[in-house]
Amino acid sequence: MFNILYKSAALLFRLFFKIFCRWEIRGRENIPETGRLVIMANHITYLDPPIIGALIKRRTHFMAKKELFRVPVLGYLLKKIGQIPVKRGSPDRSALKQALAILEEEKVLGIFPEGTTRGPKDKLGRAKSGSILIPIEGKSPILPVGIKFKGTKLKV
């Protein structure tokens, strides 16, 4: 059921972005079809996870601030599709453990190293020092992803 929910959401977002945005995707050939992978992306809007999820054909487990899991319907859905709650402001060993378990299962993990959203016109923020620990500990390749909006044009 969770896989159906995730795939349905990815399809809906894919359709939404095709209808309402012109998008440019570069480097899709660099996305491995199998094996563990950490996607590290800039974070300019709350739509970044669905954008990445819609464009990458593999189910992606994102690390998200714990507060989102307290929002009634959203929190339920995030749990059901396998997203990882992160307590911000201090090292979160539980989130680290869950992230490493995802990689151990040869799955895809999404991380926003800045730790928070930035506006589309803001410069790239400084990465949280712990963000690089996950791919190192998980012995995972990193796929860097840049997201940029210009009006209705989306570049990934």
How confident is the prediction for the chain on average, in pLDDT? 87
Higher pLDDT, 38 or 154: 38
Give the total number of structural domains in the chain. Answer: 1
Length of the chain as a residue count: 156
- Minimal CA–CA distance to 28: which of 54, 8, 46? 54
* pLDDT bracket for residue 13 (50, 70, 90): confident
Cα dihedral 58/122/78/132 (nearest 10): 60
Query: Which residues of the chain form beta strands (DSSP E)?
Result: 22-24, 37-41, 60-65, 84-86, 108-111, 142-145, 148-150, 153-155
pLDDT at 154: 65
* pLDDT bracket for residue 78 (50, 70, 90): very high
On the question of pLDDT at 17 being above 70, the answer is yes
| Cα angle 58-72-110, degrees, rounded to a multiple of 5 | 25
* pLDDT bracket for residue 7 (50, 70, 90): confident
Please state, in angstroms and rounded to a whole number, the distance separating the CA atoms of residues 80 and 114.
25
Please state, in angstroms and rounded to a whole number, the distance separating the CA atoms of residues 98 and 117.
22
Domain hosting residue 53, numbered range: 2-155
On the question of pLDDT at 106 being above 90, the answer is yes
The model's pTM: 0.87
Tell me the CATH number at 26. 3.40.1130.10
Give the tens place of pLDDT for each residue, 130-150.
Answer: 889 999 999 999 999 988 877
pLDDT at 37: 98
Mean pLDDT of 49-53: 88
Q: Tell me the helix, strand and coil percentages in the chain, rounded to 5.
A: 40, 20, 40
Mean pLDDT of 89-101: 92
By DSSP bridging, strand 84-86 and strand 60-65 are: parallel
Please state, in angstroms and rounded to a whole number, the distance separating the CA atoms of residues 141 and 52.
17
